[in-house]
Structure 1
Amino acid sequence: MIIKSAEFITSAVKPPQYPPAALPEIAFAGRSNVGKSSLVNVLVNRKRLVKTSSTPGRTQLINFFEVNGQYSFVDLPGYGYAKVPLAVKKTWGPMMRTYLEKRESLRGVVLIMDIRRVPGQEELDFILWLRQYQIPAIPVVTKTDKLSKSKQMKQLAVISETLGVDRDHLIQFSAKTRRGRDQVWAAIEATVNI
């Protein structure tokens, strides 16, 4: 995908604040600190379109971006980080659920997981929930450059077994080496065109 333009549109908490649903949307979801922002930045060839942070739990709003005037990318708050205040945590679930259940232009969700972690109950619940609402999931495992090839193979086997997903459906990605960028784009384009 050749990127001609990528721009931030708005941040939102509830539907009246969402931008018009004019473009097909792809949402990006995952635990805090799995590399969501870095993945989006690599996809759009920008260093800082989406703010990255070494502190987990920074994204606390739903952030909308327009890419090439063709797609809307939606950066969802990371889940599963214990140090976020309980009051903030309580608003995330309903905020994300409302967006995912009701957004008519949503075509799929890129589910991002750190290759060094075994998916937990939150990921399993999230996948089941996406299936229930018939929202396609694109599973991406990030930070592959942090493990040796043999450890990558072991972790991919564990992740695919835990999720009940064929290993060939897991896209391996590294923001550092840009490995997997083209595969993620191909999966996004295929999902939008279903």
Structure 2
Amino acid sequence: MKVTKSEFIISAVRPEQYPADGLPEVALAGRSNVGKSSLINRMINRKNLARTSSTPGKTQQLNYYRINDDLYFVDFPGYGFAKVSKSLRQAFGEMIETYLTQREPLKLVLQMVDLRHPPSKDDLMMHEWLKHYNLPLCVVGTKADKIPRTRREKHIKVIKQELGIGSGDLFIPFSSEEGLGREELWTVISRYTGVGQELNEAANQE
């Protein structure tokens, strides 16, 4: 199965707005400006299905993208929310917590961290929260192309140590510019969603 169809479905703020077709969902969580939209576009080989924002924290809903009518990418609001009020931040937090703990079609969470920097306080809190609830998790280190190849392993080691990522945990360095990590990430997504290995095979052929 090639990734030949991808479309934006809805910006949802309430459970009754979420798709009801039962397709598996992969959630993308990370700080504002960590590169969630760029990752989605690279994964489906499109330039602008997911729109990047010039204002970090602007995305304030769960944005659903349907891939080949087989699964959804669910783009979370970037945590941090420097531009919004405390009450709005609380509402976002409650929306996300409800989704993560009660959404049955959710099969995998991709926690995205900027590989260039040590994890932030928000990164650490999100990671601890996801581990506490034992949610299926893969940490993705974005913007790997911004780091010289000779220094990437050092940055990866820092991220893993700070987050407590062990040998049995999933971690994938990723570059939306170079495509680094795309095939590995499709393999993980395929494994957790049950969509099948054809997604990974399509990625390998492109």
TM over 0.5: yes
CA contact (8 A) 2:137 2:170 kept: no
1:99 Cα deviation from its structure 2 partner? 0.9
Structure 2 SS opposite 1:46: coil
Match of 2:182 in 1: 181
CA distance in 2, matches of 1:193, 1:131: 22
Per-residue deviation, residues 127-168 of structure 1 (Å, max 9, x unmatched): 232233331111100101111123212111110111111378
| TM-score (ref. length: structure 2) | 0.87
CA distance in 1, matches of 2:109, 2:119: 16
Q: Which runs of 5+ in 1 are unaligned?
A: none
Q: How does 1:139-158 map to 2 (within 5 A)?
A: 139-158=139-158
Moved over 3 A (4+): 166-169
CA distance in 1, matches of 2:64, 2:129: 22
1:120 Cα deviation from its structure 2 partner? 2.6
1:72 Cα deviation from its structure 2 partner? 1.1
Per-residue deviation, residues 52-88 of structure 1 (Å, max 9, x unmatched): 1232112111011110111011001000242333333
CA contact (8 A) 2:27 2:73 kept: yes
Q: Which runs of 5+ in 2 are unaligned?
A: 196-206
Worse-matched range after superposition: 43-52 or 146-155: 146-155
CA distance in 2, matches of 1:22, 1:136: 18
Worse-matched range after superposition: 144-153 or 172-181: 144-153
CA contact (8 A) 2:24 2:106 kept: yes
Match of 1:35 in 2: 35
Match of 2:107 in 1: 107
CA contact (8 A) 1:9 1:64 kept: yes
CA contact (8 A) 2:119 2:159 kept: yes
CA distance in 1, matches of 2:113, 2:73: 18
Structure 1 SS opposite 2:180: coil
CA contact (8 A) 1:21 1:105 kept: no
Provide the alpha-carbon RMSD of the alignment: 1.8
Equivalent pairs: percent with the same residue?
44
CA distance in 2, matches of 1:170, 1:15: 30
CA distance in 1, matches of 2:101, 2:174: 27
Aligned residues: 194
CA distance in 2, matches of 1:127, 1:93: 14
1:100 Cα deviation from its structure 2 partner? 0.8
Answer yes or no: is 1:160 the counterpart of 2:160.
yes
Change (3 A) 1:78 1:163: same
Q: How does 1:96-135 map to 2 (within 5 A)?
A: 96-135=96-135
1:119 Cα deviation from its structure 2 partner? 1.1
1:21 Cα deviation from its structure 2 partner? 4.6
CA distance in 2, matches of 1:54, 1:114: 17
CA distance in 2, matches of 1:97, 1:41: 26
